[in-house]
Amino acid sequence: MPFSRFAFFFALLFSTVGSVASGAAAERVAFIVGVDAYDHLPNDAQLRVAVSDAERIAKTLEGLDPAFEVTLLTDVEQDAAEDAFDEFLDRAKGAECVFLYFAGHGIEYFGTNYLLMRDTDIDAISSDVNRMKRRLGNEALSLQELVDSLDTTGAKVKLVVLDCCRDNPLEAASPAGTRSVVGGRSGLAQVTPPSGTLISYSADAGQKANDGLFTAVLAEEIESSGLPILRVFASTRQKVREISTAWAAEDAAKGLPVEYRRVRHEPAEYNKLDLSGLDFTFSRGSESQTEPEESLEMIALRQQVETMRATIESLREAGIENEALREQLTEMEASVAAAETRSRLSDPVVPEMTDMLGFITDRGMEGTRAGEVRSFGEIEMVWCPPTGENGFLMGSPKDEKGRESDELQRRVLLSKGFWLAKTECTQWQWGRVLERNPSSFYKGSDNLPVENVSWEGAQEWLAKMNQAHPLPEGWVWVLPTEAQWEYACRAGTESAFHFGDEEGELHKYGNFADRNFTGLAYGDDTQDDGVGNKTAEVSRYKANDWGLHDMHGNVLEWCSDWYGASPGAAERDPSGPESGTIRVLRGGCWYSLASHCRAAYRGRVRPTRRYGYVGFRPAVSFRP
């Protein structure tokens, strides 16, 4: 898993799929582990697709004929993983095939490989090698011990698949003052497989791996009827190498910063399969004991066609029509038809690999769950997923306290997810990008929100961000649309505030006109938010359920839309009127009544105006 893309889960998910009673032998068994969330690693070392990769492999193996009996563990802690593995070994005795798969962080420490579980604690790395090995042995799974345990089952075919980077960020100083191999350039070391075993890595020594690519290709190959096992892994290796090479070249040609580029990598296998292993096929189709007559290139093209069809169908079900992908599918189908008319495949069709397996260009930027946090341009951003086909309720019901006439409630569907800054743009973030101090009225801390910023000023800052921190094609730094803002503010709720309907709780969540407000007579003297007639530092107050702070109060936030009347009907991806004279502001401010801090409240002002209670919150959105 690459360490440039991360996710963080706040709850432990542990599930066992397709298990049977302990001690009952099975013909084909698999032990699948995926870990995204690490309790003792920093935010920038959380992963985002290890769990989904593990789930994909589990589903693939369960769907075969004959099927594997699968134990699936996700975001699992050390003790639970060891207990489940012991039960798995009982079922694996005498099996035809045992399959061990791990997606997550793996490290090497002085020649020993460890697979990190959710609760592995390696914050303080000791230079005492024996002590550190003992500690890691207690807090992580030893890869060599897992492999040796598989050997005791007597299974005919033993497969170990590791979708881990072999380039890791964890480093420790040795007594000699040099860096140990924890996080060293070599990453996970080669493990010598016992007889009858094949070990496969998603990347060769010292390489990173693109999120999801290896597992996606491997799953496709496993599902191909009749392919002998070595051909499965050889074909996987070839396709991953070709796809990732094309991706890396494409991103370099676009001039993307290194941290946003996809990388070239090549899987590696270490093989000691016996003859019975060489004959093993995942599916027992009509071709199970014979080499396929088609070339690997032709097989890859067929798989690309089927996967592209599935991708288009899934997008269509989500309400998204992608004409470019449909045109590409038509070209692929024409290539297949032309190849099938040849009597022999002496001139095989070599598919264009850049978008192999339906990896559309924006895939790597998408989050995996609401509230996932990533850092772009040194700004923490929160993932706001697509709404799904039912959309969300935008606006306010007629009986909501403080409701205004331009808040007509309707259902809104957002077909694409987006990233929204965890906090309002701070004065430090403003000055770092524009290389000048903000003209804010309220000073004293870099963590105060920038204010006294016009809509046009916010656009200047965003333009600089797009230059200094360019994103993958189609993704841009923007102001959120009004619909995106309200969707993110609500975080799945339908109440007046993201915390409920009781405005008497607002002081816990935002800076507004409370008892400390002395500018006018209308302050709410029943509440105390701890701040007077000024802005508060961002993140001072409680966040919403997705981890977004100050969505109620502090400063009003510019949206991208022109202000217009709320439509009464359902909408899809609204972006406001095409023209106008005033822009939308959302969220209320330190100057606002509680009712003007509600999720549905709509402020508006001319885009050239600047006030000491108006700022903005940047978004990263897909705008093709």
- Cα–Cα distance, 191 to 162 (Å, whole number): 11
For the cut 90, the answer to whether the pLDDT of residue 356 exceeds it is no
For the cut 60, the answer to whether the pLDDT of residue 346 exceeds it is no
- Assigned token pair, 152: 């005791």
246-255, 282-291, 422-431: least confidently modelled range: 282-291
- Cα–Cα distance, 298 to 304 (Å, whole number): 10
pTM, rounded to two decimals: 0.52
Condensed to tens digits (0 to 9), the pLDDT of residues 145-184 reads 898 899 899 999 999 999 876 444 444 333 322 222 333 3
Please compute the mean of the pLDDT values over residues 43-65 and round it to a whole number. Answer: 87
Most confident of 135-139, 343-347, 521-525: 521-525
315 vs 2, which has greater pLDDT?
315
Residues 6+ apart with CB under 8 A from 536: 448, 511, 529, 530, 550, 554, 590
pLDDT, residue 378, reads 87
pLDDT, residue 113, reads 81
Q: What is the band of 299 on the pLDDT scale with cuts at 50, 70, 90?
A: low
Q: Quote the DSSP letter at residue 108.
A: E
- Assigned token pair, 465: 């961000």
Is the bond preceding 66 in cis, omega lying within 30 degrees of 0? Answer: yes
DSSP run (H or E) holding 155? none
For the cut 50, the answer to whether the pLDDT of residue 2 exceeds it is no
Please compute the mean of the pLDDT values over residues 486-514 and round it to a whole number. Answer: 97
Condensed to tens digits (0 to 9), the pLDDT of residues 447-489 reads 999 999 999 999 999 999 999 998 888 899 999 999 999 999 9
Condensed to tens digits (0 to 9), the pLDDT of residues 8-53 reads 222 222 233 333 333 344 689 999 999 988 888 877 678 878 898 9
**Residue 161: which of 65, 87, 54 has the closest Cα?**
54
What Cα–Cα distance (Å) separates residue 479 from each residue in 230, 303, 367, 567? 51, 39, 19, 21
Q: What is the band of 333 on the pLDDT scale with cuts at 50, 70, 90?
A: low
For the cut 50, the answer to whether the pLDDT of residue 564 exceeds it is yes
Phi, psi torsion values for 582, nearest 5 degrees: -130, 150
pLDDT, residue 136, reads 78
Yes or no: say if 264 and 244 are a contact pair by the CB < 8 Å rule: yes
562 vs 6, which has greater pLDDT?
562
Please compute the mean of the pLDDT values over residues 587-603 and round it to a whole number. Answer: 96
408 vs 321, which has greater pLDDT?
408
Residues 6+ apart with CB under 8 A from 537: 445, 447, 448
